[in-house]
Structure formats: C-alpha cells, structure tokens
Structure 1
Amino acid sequence: MKSFYTASFLFFLLIFTGCAYQENLNTFNRLYYEKKPQEAFVFSKKKIKNHLLWQIQSGVSGYIAGNYKESMSILDTAEKLLNHKQAQGILSNSLSNTGATLINDNVKSYQGSIYEGVLINYYKALDALAIGDNSRARVEFNRANDRQRRAKEYYEKEIQKAIKIQKEKYKKDPKASEEINQNTSSEKIDKILNSQYSNLKHFAIYSGFINPLVSYISGLYFSLQGDPKGMDLLKEAYGINHSKIIAQDMFAFQNNKYDKKKYTWIVIEDGKSPTKKEFSIKLPLYLISSEVLYFGLALPQLEEGISFYNSFDIKTKMGSKNFEEISLFDGIIANEFSKQLPYIITRAIISAVYKASMQSVLTQTLGSYAAIGGALFSAATTAADTRITTVFPHKVWLNRIENNKEQINLLADGREILEIGFEDCTKNKNPPLVEKSTPVNEKEYKICKNSNNIIYIRTTKNNIIPKLIIGEKQ
C-alpha cells in the first residue's frame, strides 16, 4: 500500500510536469521552425537547468541563431551531463527509479541517446569553426567520430545488462509473478508488437551508428587541412551513402586537385527529424486474472521526419546541378531506437504487471471499490515516454562547385532561395559575410573566390540561414 500512495503522489506530479513539457516543446518548435531561431534560443535558455533535452535544444538553436560562444558553453554542459548518464548506463541506470515502474518512464530524467552525444560534439565543432578556433574544432570532430565508433559496443553491453537487471527485479516480487498468466499474455503482446513496429521496416535504417554527415564534414575539414585522417572519414561516409560527390572528393584529395583550383561546398540541413507518438495495447481481462480490471501497455512509436523542400539545385549561366542527399536522420535515429526497443518493451510489460498486481492486492484487501480505483490509476498512468529532441534536420544535402563563376543561384523545389556571389578577396580585403539568420526575402550572400569554402545552410519553414564555416574571413 505504501507503493500505491507513493505512486499516487508521483502520478499527480507527472500530470503537471508532462503537460508543461509538451506545451514548452510545442512553443519551441513553433519559434524555431516557423519564426526565428533566435527567439527559440532565448526561450530554450529558460528551460536548460539540469535538463539534458533542453540543453541540446538550446545549444543547437544557439548555433543556428549565431550565438556561437554561448552555444558552445551550453553544449559543454550538455556533454558533461550525457557523459555522466552514459557512465552510469543510459538504460540500466534508470532501473533504480521505482516511480518509473509504478507510473511510467516519464518520471525519469531525460537520458539521451548516443546519436545526440555525437551531434553535441559535431555542433560544438561548427561553433569553434565559426569563431575561428581550429584547434577546438579538431578536438570536437575527433570526439564526435570516436563516439560513433564506440556506440555499437556500448549498446550491445548496455541493453543486455538493462534487460537482465529489470527481469531479476521482477522475479523478486512473488506476488507480481503469481498473478499474471505470463505465457498467454506474452503471446498476445508479441503479435500486437510485431504489427505495430512493422513500420520500422520502412525506415532506411543505417547499419551501425555512423552518421555520414558527421563523417563527411569531419573528413572534408581534415582533408582541407592536409590531415591524412580525412581520407578515412570520407571513405566511411561514402561507404554508407555512396555519394558521387564524396567519391569525387576522395579522388581529388588523393591527386591534390583542390590545391590547384578552389571550390565551394554547400551543405543544406532541411526539415525536422523524427518524432515519437504513443500507441496503446489493452489485453482482454480473461487473459490476465479475475481480480484485475485493467491491463494495458503504452509504447513509443517512431514517426518519420518531415522535409520542407524535396529538391535543391545550383543554377548558373551554364546550366544547373542537383544536390545529393548525403544523410537521412530518420535512419540514424531509427537504428538506435530499434536497439532500445527490447529494453523499452520489457520495462513496459513489467510496469503493467506491477500495476495489475497492485489491483489484485487492492481487490483482496479492500474490496471491489478499491479495485476500481486501482484500475483507474493503472489506466491513467499507463503512458509512453515520447520525449525526443526536435532541433535536428530530416535530411542533409550536398553540392560542390568550382569558384570560377561570378554568382550562382540556389533553388529549392525550383524556386530561388539564395544568391551567392564570388568576390576576388585579393582586391577586396573586407568581403561582406553574412553570419546571421537570413530571411527568405533577403537573398544575397557573398564569399571569396580565392579560397576553398564550405557554406552551411539551415532551412526552416520561413527562413534560409547560411553560414560560412570554412573559407576566407578577412
């Protein structure tokens, strides 16, 4: 009964905090994707105290908004918190939270994912490049790629450990084990899960945990610096997406082509990464126990990300050149989500069993009215943890062009979104550079033709936001 009272308190606390979280996230998304990233950044800073999800949201939106030093500081804090959670075990650490078993996983603090850790270091590298700190950029690119390579081994150990701990805790509760016909329930649940999670087959899940965007931009940076490790990273990215542009880059760097002529790479982050929604499973009561009035599961389901544009092109006087898709964030996120599923499902089932056991105890000790109250409590507290960062793109696009033009035009779905002019920086020592959010109706952007350049562009519903992350900054 003590557990029931504890759970009741946590339940009412959860209702309040859960509603506030979703409302805050909706506000952030509206500001970030429909208005201005600066407004989203200011809003998110109010939420970041000891909260990993909001630290990531704030740090990345800070980079997009042009607040590079502040963004890096916030992401430093996020990295420390994520490292602490990973050291304890992203999954197994949460098993000590009794409230999560009695209520649902929303009472836990946000644990984060490996891909988010990779992107924390990645955006810190971009912050460092924006402020001209090349040594810091190298460190962060190295950390991002190291996280990717260690992810597979981490998850293989962590998930098995988490499931084992959770099942052992369940076995220690004889009452819970006695009350439920586990074999019959498991068969029914398995059929429903196989049906509900069949949508994962539609995601282009990447093998391993490598985000080709991170590998490619890191490899391009190191290669332009003359560091041979860049070639290995380019090969890693090419092995995943088989991009023709990346293949050409590999050949060009091997033959020192980019030392003789200067080029500009354009990288576009577009859309919004996958989100999660809840789906519920309610089993017929005759499969459970005559003393149990409610038995249900609530599980998260991944929903595909959305694009704001379907194609991008470079247009010149000589013709047009299509952008290539080099990274699909759905694939990265779905891969990690699929690895977490065994743990998520196991935990949801055990939570449902505990709640059913509680109903049985209430029926036996206090009668049918208490049982009804227990059933209502179980139904009201059965909810999936659908928290996920929303600041990342859906797809990333790439193009490259030689700096032998006076200007080029960027098209999205056939409509001009940005004009890029090339200036001779040996004549003009102060070329105009745009380092801020650029609304769609302000289309001019100028860079130096005498250097290799990387332009990074973030598209939202109402903004085109270009940044020169590598190039002449005189």
Structure 2
Amino acid sequence: MNLFNQSILAVGVAALVSGCSSFQHRNQMSSFNTAYSTGDYESALAAVSFETSEDEAVDTEGHLLELLHQGELYRLTGQYQQAADTFDLAEEGMKYLDTEGVVEEAAEGFMAVMVNDSERDYEALMSEAVLVNTYKGLAFLAAGNNEYARIEFNRANDRTRRAVEYFQKEIAAQQATLEEQAEDEESNASLVNNSLNNEDLHTAIAENYGAPSSWSVFPEFIVPSATYLHGLYFLANASSGADYERAATSLKRVAEMNPDSSILKADAELATGLSNGSVSRSALGAQVWIVYENGLGPVLEESRFDVPLLLFHGNQQAPAYFGLALPKYSDRQAVPGTIGVVGDAGESIETEQISDMGTVIRTEMKERFPGVLARAVTSAVIKAVLQNEASEQFGIVGQLGAAALTVATTQADLRGWQAMPDHWQAARLDRPESGTLTLLDHQGSVLGNLDLPDRPFTLVYVKRPTTLAPATVITMDLQGKSEATFARFPEVTEQTQVSSAQ
C-alpha cells in the first residue's frame, strides 16, 4: 500500500473514531450540565465518572477533563479530601504545561492535523490549572489544613507568574518546527507557512470569526479571583512584613485590573496599610469576606467557514478555498443580581463583581490562538492535498470520497471544564457581635442564616450555578485553624422534595 493510500486509510479510520468520541463527549457534557445546573451534584458526578481497575493507575491525561469536573463536584458536596485527591490527579495530567514526551507529542500532533484537535488528549488551559490550585487551596482550608492550603495558593500564584513565559515558548516551538519543515519549498509545511502569512486568510478569519486583536482581554494574563484569594490568604496568615507585602502585591494587582471596584480598592488599601504599618492589625477587628462564585462559565462553539489556502498547481501556487473549523467561546447564563449580607445593624451590604471568567479565558485564547490556527490550517492543507491526489488517481469517485472525509473530520475541539463560573463577586464587613449573618438572594429574599466562627478572619464562600440550583455555602476560617461549616441555601426540606417530585 503506497503512502497516499495509507494516508487516506488513516484519515478514514480516524474519522470514525473522531465521530464516536465527539458524540460521546457531547452526550457526557449534556448529562453533566442537565444535572449540574439544577444542583443535582450526585447525578452530575455519575455523568463524569469512569471505571479503573484497582491494580491499574488512573490515566490522568486521558481522563483529565473528567477529573476536573469530579474534583469540583467533590468540593461542592463537602468532600474536601476527595476533592484535593482528585485535583491532584488532574494536576498530574497537566504535566504537559511543564514538559511532554517528544514521541507522545509527535503522535498527538499527527492525529490533530490528520483529523482535528479533539483527537488529542484534552489539554487544560493555564487558567484552568490556576483554578485547580486555587480550589485545592480552598479545599484544604475548609478541611482545616492550613499548611497545604498555603502551598496551593502559592502554586496558583506561581502558575500565573509563569503563564506568559509558557505561552511564548509554546508559540516559538511551533513556529520553529514549521519553519524547519518549510525549508523544502514543495513540502506541506511550506504550503502551511505561506497560507498562514496570506493576507486573504486573515481577512477571512476577521470577517467570519473575529480578529483576536479586537477581543476584550486583560492587558496581561491573570485569573483575578485566584490572585484575590491568594492576597486574602496571606493578609490573614501574615507572620512577617514579607507576607503582608505579598498580600498587598496580589490585591493591588487585582484592583488595577478592575479600577471601578470599591471592594478591591478597599482590600488593596487595607493590605498596603498593614504592610507599611499605617494600619494596626490589633485595632482592625474581626473581618468577614463573602466571595460569590456565580453562574455558568463560557463554553466553546464551532465557527466554520471557508478560507483561501495556497496550494501547488503544477509549478505554481494558487489560492483554493477549503473549510476551516475554529473554537470560539460563547457566554452562558449567570444568576442575576448580587447577594445581600445582613448583620446586626439590619443594613444589607451587597456583593459586587470583581472578575469574570470570559475575559480570563479570552486573554489566554488570544495568546494561544496562533497555535490553534496553525494546527487548523495544517490540517486543512494536508486534507486539501489528499483531495487533489485522490482526484488525480481515482477521478470523481476519489475526489468525492476524500471530500466527504474532509467534511467529516473538519471539526473544532469544543472540550472544556464546564464547572467554572460566569463571574465572581465579593464583599467585606466587620464580624457582627452576635456572630450571625443573613444571606439574601438576588430578589432580596432570605437565602439562609449563618453562624460565624469567632475568628479574626472568616471567608464565606458561596457558589451557585443557576437559580434552579441551591447555593453551596462554605464558611471557612481563613487561618485554617478549624474545619469549615457547610450549608446549602435555600435548605431543601422534605416538603420541597415531595413537591418537586410531583
């Protein structure tokens, strides 16, 4: 069997595999989202579970996406150690963010260009990796394990610091490989390189997909909620001026990303005051922060359109139009409004938005887009060349068959961690002398009442994906000296369960 026939066979077999895996993923995520959006976390967990033999190690790269979902579901059901253990496995599956075997990378790269990106093991975004460390930090904090919580908040901060360098190296490595292969002017790599530099290609992308330069993004990579929690943690656990400085640096950085936020400005000023000595910790009084994780985060949709690729016809290069499929983020719903917090004085303090997930992801996607586009164009060029060769060798039958395979395998990779929120909100207040807080929902109705621990620094962490789901409320000692209390508001009573079942 010659190389061309082998290529056609490989694409044909891969098309069947791709179709099956894409269908399975869509079905799995549909089941997950149906359960997750109503707060049925047990059913959501079942949707993303997989079987592994007792004597078999977990394939952390192959099951990374399931592990990410599982870890957050364990956290939202108060199973903090299980959440940390599962996120540990997920982090093991993200080692490619530091290094990856050349052979494995080459094999996955072949499948990506011969079929599409969904044939690679899922590769988490750097922002997802930052959140893994942040969620692990919160899980350890809720379990009263302050030592491990400190490690995870530091890891989240370190990942943020190293992200830009990682993006630059990733893009540089892809470009170097392409340029090396393109030295042969008649190679597919040369066609890809010329197509990527073709102004008509970028015009078509801008018209059909949107120019990355026009996206609303942060001026630098940051996951503000993670950096904010890093700052709060070190403000509460400072044992030296260096720790206060660390808290001030993080909180000031987040405040600079959202200059309209009064809560971010006040927290940055508090950390700065503690750092330079203008604010006395002993005179500060017990503080309570409410952090509200709200809504459903962005999901990927496919943007499919024709683009001009430069192909050889005889000894000449000429433009030919072929389909390109690119992933594009689309926002989902958020719970409207804010959370109200009522203390002893009876006055309601409202949370305010401090960051959204969409801007975070688009900031990263803008950095990664050259690599996504290069793989998509490489795939399109190779399939276009195969179509031409099929037409020359087998006539109209070969051309139609190759075209059908091309259509079947031209798909964008739409996988992603769908337990992330639309945005975060926050508020801060002095701890009420009674030790009791009342939480109000977006309509001003009572969500529930909280008994606060008598601690210098308390974090009330609230997560609610939709109005159909109850709010998960985890009340933590920010110094990690005691275990958290767990609640779901509004509380589900036996009467509610009977009514909902009817």
Query: What TM-score does the superposition give when structure 1 sets the normalisation length?
Result: 0.86
* Amino acid aligned to 1:380: A
Q: Is the 8 A contact 1:184 1:287 kept in 2?
A: no
Distance 1:444 1:83 in 2: 42
Cα distance change on mapping 1:37 and 1:172 into 2, 3 Å: farther
Could you report, residue by residue, the CA deviation over 1:257-278 in whole angstroms, capped at 9, with x for unpaired residues? 5654212111000011111111
Distance 2:211 2:200 in 1: 19
Instruction: Look up the match of 1:348.
Output: 376
Distance 1:469 1:289 in 2: 67
Distance 2:189 2:93 in 1: 36
Distance 2:236 2:127 in 1: 26
- How far is 1:170 from its partner? 5.7
Q: Does the alignment pair 1:302 with 2:329? A: yes
Instruction: Look up the match of 2:177.
Output: 165
SS at match of 1:396: strand
Instruction: Look up the match of 2:70.
Output: 58
| Aligned pair partner of 2:302 in 252, 268, 278 | 278
- How far is 1:183 from its partner? 6.1
* Amino acid aligned to 1:76: D
Cα distance change on mapping 1:174 and 1:260 into 2, 3 Å: closer
* Amino acid aligned to 2:473: P
Q: Is the 8 A contact 2:217 2:360 kept in 1?
A: yes
- How far is 1:314 from its partner? 2.5
Cα distance change on mapping 1:219 and 1:283 into 2, 3 Å: closer
- How far is 1:61 from its partner? 1.8
Q: Is the 8 A contact 1:404 1:449 kept in 2?
A: no
Could you report, residue by residue, the CA deviation over 1:268-305 in whole angstroms, capped at 9, with x for unpaired residues? 00011111111111258999969999721111111124
Cα distance change on mapping 1:96 and 1:451 into 2, 3 Å: closer
- How far is 1:360 from its partner? 1.1
Q: Is the 8 A contact 1:456 1:467 kept in 2?
A: yes
With 464-473 and 45-54 compared, the bigger mean Cα shift is at: 45-54
Instruction: Look up the match of 1:444.
Output: 449
Instruction: Look up the match of 2:24.
Output: 20
| Aligned pair partner of 1:233 in 208, 232, 250 | 250
Cα distance change on mapping 1:285 and 1:395 into 2, 3 Å: closer
Alignment of 1:355-374 (within 5 A): 355-374=383-402
Instruction: Look up the match of 1:245.
Output: 263
- How far is 1:52 from its partner? 1.4
Cα distance change on mapping 1:125 and 1:179 into 2, 3 Å: closer
| Aligned pair partner of 2:340 in 313, 333, 336 | 313
Q: Does the alignment pair 1:206 with 2:218? A: yes
With 281-290 and 304-313 compared, the bigger mean Cα shift is at: 281-290
Alignment of 1:119-134 (within 5 A): 119-134=131-146
With 312-321 and 459-468 compared, the bigger mean Cα shift is at: 312-321
SS at match of 1:367: helix
Q: Does the alignment pair 1:463 with 2:492? A: no
* Amino acid aligned to 1:336: E
Could you report, residue by residue, the CA deviation over 1:194-247 in whole angstroms, capped at 9, with x for unpaired residues? 123437677541122221211111111111112322222222222222332233
Alignment of 1:116-155 (within 5 A): 116-155=128-167
Cα distance change on mapping 1:178 and 1:57 into 2, 3 Å: closer
Q: Is the 8 A contact 1:170 1:350 kept in 2?
A: no
Q: Is the 8 A contact 1:104 1:382 kept in 2?
A: yes
With 222-231 and 159-168 compared, the bigger mean Cα shift is at: 159-168
Distance 2:170 2:190 in 1: 29
Identity of aligned residues (%): 25
- How far is 1:367 from its partner? 1.8
- How far is 1:42 from its partner? 4.0
Q: Does the alignment pair 1:115 with 2:133? A: no
Instruction: Look up the match of 2:499.
Output: none
Q: What are the ranges of 5 or more consecutive residues in structure 2 without an aligned counterpart?
A: 52-57, 484-502
- How far is 1:310 from its partner? 2.9
Query: What TM-score does the superposition give when structure 2 sets the normalisation length?
Result: 0.81
Instruction: Look up the match of 1:264.
Output: 288
Cα distance change on mapping 1:345 and 1:202 into 2, 3 Å: closer
Q: Does the alignment pair 1:409 with 2:438? A: yes
* Amino acid aligned to 1:69: Q
Instruction: Look up the match of 2:83.
Output: 71
Distance 2:10 2:129 in 1: 34
Instruction: Look up the match of 2:497.
Output: none
With 168-177 and 3-12 compared, the bigger mean Cα shift is at: 168-177
Q: Is the 8 A contact 2:311 2:319 kept in 1?
A: no
Q: What are the ranges of 5 or more consecutive residues in structure 1 without an aligned counterpart?
A: 419-442
With 288-297 and 209-218 compared, the bigger mean Cα shift is at: 288-297
- Cα RMSD between the aligned structures? 3.1
Distance 1:216 1:197 in 2: 33
* Amino acid aligned to 1:141: F
Distance 2:43 2:470 in 1: 13
Distance 1:449 1:184 in 2: 61
Distance 2:35 2:117 in 1: 28
Cα distance change on mapping 1:296 and 1:59 into 2, 3 Å: same
Distance 1:8 1:210 in 2: 41
